[in-house]
């Protein structure tokens, strides 16, 4: 089943949130930051059925839109890696204290680990790539790879935050992501799209 992807630039530090939409008008939301009005409006305009929210990791700029979405879709399930649960509960760990906010998520969270998983009507391949955060994941759906702050166009995620580890991050990218097909479309947490093939050739960190 083919999917389409819509990007929304949200929140205090211009974080990319994504809607992944399939032919059945079902969708997933990945990494919603705050001020989700445009994203929620798009769900309504296209008459989409929101099946899940997936968090690539627990830093504040990737999670602050969850309450806004839950307010309108209270039953929608929330997913992230178990090693990120501590970040969702602690403003020191998720970094929200840096912008003068004590943000936490108290909703039930479904844990996802590395491997293949069906989330709603979507077949997802989950890659565990810690190093930017303790339980960072990349999610491959069809030809798209949603990687949060693991890999960017021409760069990689910072590793100076709580739970960061540069060697772990670089090893994970090389062993798990760079082996994907060159034409895989990388949808990062900030900035523009790229491809695995381009990053293999051009990324100075790799």
Model confidence pLDDT, tens digit, residues 94-111: 999 989 999 999 999 999
Q: Give residue 50's domain range.
A: 3-202
Say yes or no to pLDDT of 1 above 80. Answer: no
Model confidence pLDDT, tens digit, residues 35-50: 999 999 999 999 999 9
Res 155: pLDDT: 98
Cβ contact 157:150 at 8 Å: yes
Rounded CA separation 114/127 (Å):
5
Res 98: pLDDT: 87
Model confidence pLDDT, tens digit, residues 28-83: 999 999 999 999 999 999 999 999 999 999 999 999 999 999 999 999 999 999 99
| Cβ partners under 8 Å of residue 6, min gap 6 | 18, 19, 21, 42
- Output phi, psi for 142, to 5 deg: 55, -125
Which tokens sit at 37?
């009005």
Helix locations, the chain, DSSP H: 37-45, 66-72, 85-89, 91-94, 166-172, 196-202
Rounded to the nearest integer, the mean pLDDT of the chain is 97
**Nearest to 73, CA basis, from 120, 22, 111:** 120
**Nearest to 14, CA basis, from 71, 64, 50:** 64
Res 125: pLDDT: 98
Say yes or no to pLDDT of 162 above 90. Answer: no
Cα 87 to Cα 21, 116, 136: the distances in Å are 28, 24, 11
Looking up residue 31, the CATH number of its domain turns out to be 3.60.15.10
| Cβ partners under 8 Å of residue 4, min gap 6 | 20, 21
Model confidence pLDDT, tens digit, residues 103-152: 999 999 999 999 999 999 999 999 999 999 999 999 999 999 999 999 99
Give the number of domains in the chain.
1
**Nearest to 139, CA basis, from 24, 17, 55, 23:** 55
């Amino acid at each position: 089943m083919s999917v389409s992807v819509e990007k929304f630039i949200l929140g205090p530090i211009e974080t990319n949130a994504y809607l992944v939409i399939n032919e059945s008008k079902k969708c997933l939301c990945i990494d919603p930051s705050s001020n989700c009005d445009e994203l929620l409006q798009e769900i309504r305009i296209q008459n989409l059925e929101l099946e899940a929210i997936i968090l690539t990791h627990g830093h504040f700029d990737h999670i602050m839109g969850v309450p806004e979405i839950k307010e309108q879709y209270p039953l929608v399930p929330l997913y992230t890696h178990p090693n990120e649960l501590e970040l969702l509960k602690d403003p020191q760990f998720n970094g929200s204290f840096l912008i003068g906010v004590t943000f936490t998520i108290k909703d039930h969270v479904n844990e996802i680990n590395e491997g293949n998983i069906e989330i709603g009507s979507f077949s997802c391949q989950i890659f565990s790539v810690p190093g930017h955060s303790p339980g960072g994941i990349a999610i491959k759906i069809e030809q798209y790879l949603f990687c949060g702050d693991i890999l960017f166009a021409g760069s990689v995620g910072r590793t100076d935050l709580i739970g960061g580890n540069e060697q772990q991050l670089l090893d994970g990218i090389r062993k798990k992501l760079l082996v994907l097909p060159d034409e895989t479309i990388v949808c990062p947490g900030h900035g523009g799209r790229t491809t695995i093939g381009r990053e293999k050739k051009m990324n100075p960190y790799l």
